[in-house]
Amino acid sequence: MNDLVVGAGVSGIAYCNFTRNGSEIIEKDGTIGGYCRTTKRNGYVWDYSGHFFHFQDPEIESIVCRNINKDDILHVNKVTSILYKGQYIDFPFQKNIHQLPKEEFIDCLYDLFAATPDNEGSSFKDMVMSNLGRSIAEKFLIPYNTKLYACDLDLLDKDAMGRFFPKASKEEIILNFRNSKNISYNATFDYPKGGAIEYIHSLIGNIPEVPVSCNEELLDVDLKNKIAITNRRKINYNNLVSTIPLNVLIRKCGLPVSDCFTSNQVLVFNIGFNKKGKDTKNCWVYIPDKDVVFYRVGYYDNIMGTDKMSLYIEVGLPSNTTVDPDEMYKCVLYDLKKVGIVTDEEVVDYEYVIMNPAYVHINQSAIEEINRIKSLLAEYSVYSIGRYGSWTYCSIEDNIKEARNLALELNNGK
């Protein structure tokens, strides 16, 4: 029997790159890639959302890029800003409060030194208020992340973003006033000229012997007899490696699903214009303004060095919200003009993508349930990996590392 991999996205294909067991992949959609799919149309290259690889591990970089011409990979120095009350502030906000108007700067500085880290609570909102003070929290961190996660931030664990939250000490913030060092985990990133799907094509190109069956959906799992039931057949498996959302897998395994698995959805608009916009520098921009529907705008044209403005715009919504994309598109265009990102540029083409789930809500009860259920499933040779399979906030490289680690664990001494 082979290992059965459910989902032909980064994590599932990566697992097959590392396993020495026989394997096959099933994918419910008509094409591979998961959220790393790319549209190429009318001269524009758009992903489902901004997917940029921040390679830290040379082995993973080599495997992912093996089948891509080096000249077709862009090495980009990340430039990001915050659009705050009509002014562009360098990211992260907390290290660049000196760029604010004088009175707001003084408010932030005063509250920063009045902050009481020893009183840090358990929620994300408690953490930012206790460590960085009320002004920094209320001017950017709380409104922005509320728009992104589409929930009350008291529902999120203080470490919900892990290493991806740009923490800074008082000393670092002060030193940044004269010597700006806005360094983060992803100060540079790589991006294929053909979009994120090129990474998928490269990864799948490493394993031509692995069969991939698209339009085949996992319906049920017989844990006791190690049988996966799809819309086409019954499959006996050695190990079942799932990359679908963990709460969905639990249900397909016939187990009760905890209500701790909550998340948002993100409505992504990819829009191509007839000419370059006025922002020729930023890779992406954060927008905390509550009166603007989107929380982030990314510039494919600045990343790829093209001559026509090409944007991805992200709108965070509760997962159970029904949204009319056509009406939201009108709001997005209106707000792009309202904040000055779009002036007289004309739309040539656009598309929208709904990502649901998008960002998972991480809290202590969810962490405990994830650990419990993954241990239980492992007793039946069922393993759940990936951003949604592990119900976590992580990078694409983290997904690949998790897939590699599981493959090494399950290689049966081969």
Separation of alpha carbons 60 and 395, rounded Å: 13
Whether residue 155 is found in the same domain as residue 25: no
pLDDT attached to residue 181? 65
The HSE-up count of residue 318 (CA atoms within 13 Å, CB side) is: 6
CATH of residue 234: 3.40.50.720
Written as six digits, the tokens of 354 are 């709904």
Residue 184 has pLDDT above 60, yes or no: no
pLDDT attached to residue 182? 55
Whether residue 143 is found in the same domain as residue 11: no
Tell me, yes or no, whether 335 lies in a domain. yes
Mean pLDDT across 244-256: 98
pLDDT attached to residue 53? 82
User: How many residues does the structure list for the chain?
Assistant: 414
How many percent of the chain have pLDDT more than 90? 87
Give the chain's domain count.
3
- Among 163, 188, 173, residue whose Cα is nearest residue 93: 173
CATH of residue 125: 1.10.3110
Whether residue 109 is found in the same domain as residue 161: yes
CA distances from 84 to 176, 270, 286 (A): 19, 23, 9
pLDDT attached to residue 86? 95
pLDDT attached to residue 121? 79
pLDDT attached to residue 14? 98
pLDDT in tens, 165-174: 887 888 889 8
**Domain endpoint, select from 175, 202, 228:** 175
**Domain endpoint, select from 131, 150, 175:** 175
Residue 413 has pLDDT above 60, yes or no: no
Q: Is this model's pTM higher than 0.95 or not?
A: no
The amino acid present at 340, given as its one-letter code, is G
Of the two residues 50 and 408, the one the predictor is more confident about is 408
- Among 76, 72, 74, 92, residue whose Cα is nearest residue 84: 92
Whether residue 285 is found in the same domain as residue 344: yes
Tell me, yes or no, whether 379 lies in a domain. yes
CATH of residue 284: 3.30.70.1990
Mean pLDDT across 285-301: 98
The range of the structural domain enclosing residue 117 comes to 92-175
Residue 179 has pLDDT above 90, yes or no: no
